[in-house]
Amino acid sequence: MTENRNIPTHVAFIMDGNGRWAKERLLPRKMGHREGVKAMKRMINECDAMGIRYVTFYAFSTENWARPQEEIDELFSLIKKFAEGELQEYSEKGYRIRILGDVTQLPEPTRKALEKIVAASKGNSGMCVSVAINYGGRQEIVNAVNNIIQSGITQIDVDSMSDCMYTYGIPDPDVIVRSGGEKRLSNFLIWQCAYSELIFLDKYWPDFDRSTLEEILAEYAKRDRRFGKIARLS
Ligand code: IPE
Ligand code: IPE
Ligand code: MG
């Protein structure tokens, strides 16, 4: 068990490696995605148990439309099942659910199921679970600027810009964790990551569990977040 100090307020996960997890087992990619959803549910429970207040998952990027239609359909069907299946449990636990991204492009049944869970959990004060779907960091910034232009505002600052992002009201991630071995952000939270600690793990997303979270929290606790100040004395 990790020491209860230095627990990040907001942990964001780039859930990568589902396809390779399946390939290693000679299974179709969709089996990797199914295990990926299980891992996501597991990590929601574990993060809550650790006292993390905000947790965010990157589920579908604006670039993922480049995948075969069959895989896209499978992913949205899983997202719909997740929204429908977990609604009751999560609202009982008091979680708030937020969706980051442009939901207008999603298949209607998926969008409706997501909107239902967001609306139902709106008044909750427990852990905030955000899922980034049809999310792209550059698109988020462009969308924010367009909203600003339309509202007639002629000058903005960092705080007012942050308020125009999909993540309004959510503190920037303290740590962004990517599974699957790639060391890149793939258009994830590029505005919000300015001072996030970055952790890249080789482990594939479906293998993430409590011990992985403990490893992440231990690594995070070792980081010296200077925010421009001088290094802390060791
Ligand atoms: C992450 O796993 C899930 C999504 C991007 C939707 P991948 O499907 O990217 O898995 P790999 O990277 O091919 O192993
Ligand atoms: C990043 O994974 C997007 C999500 C986890 C949703 P990708 O597998 O799409 O990223 P790239 O293409 O390897 O950068
Ligand atoms: Mg990938």
**Residue 133: CB within 6 Å of ligand 1?**
no
| Residue 105 CA neighbour count, 13 Å, CB half | 14
Give the closest residue (by CA) to ligand 1 atom 13: 19
**φ, ψ of residue 106 in degrees (nearest 5):** -80, 155
Q: What is the mean pLDDT of residues 127-156?
A: 97
Residues 6+ apart with CB under 8 A from 25: 31
Kindly report the number of other CB atoms within 10 A of residue 224's CB atom. 9
DSSP single-letter state for residue 64: G
Distance CA 15, CA 33 (A): 10
Distance CA 217, CA 1 (A): 10
> Which are the catalytic amino acids?
16, 64
Q: What is the pLDDT of residue 116?
A: 95
Looking at domain 7-140+173-220, its CATH class is alpha beta
Question: What pLDDT band is residue 234 in, cutting at 50, 70 and 90?
Answer: low
Q: What is the pLDDT of residue 87?
A: 81
For 50-88, how does the pLDDT look when each residue is reduced to its tens digit (9 = 90+)? 999 999 999 999 999 999 999 999 999 999 999 999 888
**Residue 203: CB within 6 Å of ligand 1?**
no
Ligand 2: residue of 13, 15, 16, 193 to mutate (most ligand atoms within 8 A of CB) is: 16
Question: What pLDDT band is residue 4 in, cutting at 50, 70 and 90?
Answer: low
Give the closest residue (by CA) to ligand 1 atom 9: 16
Q: What is the pLDDT of residue 2?
A: 44
**Residue 180: CB within 6 Å of ligand 1?**
yes
For 25-44, how does the pLDDT look when each residue is reduced to its tens digit (9 = 90+)? 999 999 999 999 999 999 99
Give the residue among 87, 78, 162 at the shortest CA–CA distance from 122. 87
pTM as predicted: 0.97
Give residue for tokens 């859930």.
Answer: 15
**Domain parsing of the chain, residue ranges:** 7-140+173-220
1 pLDDT exceeds 50? no
Question: Residue 62 C-alpha to ligand 1 middle, in angstroms?
Answer: 13
**Residue 78: CB within 6 Å of ligand 2?**
no
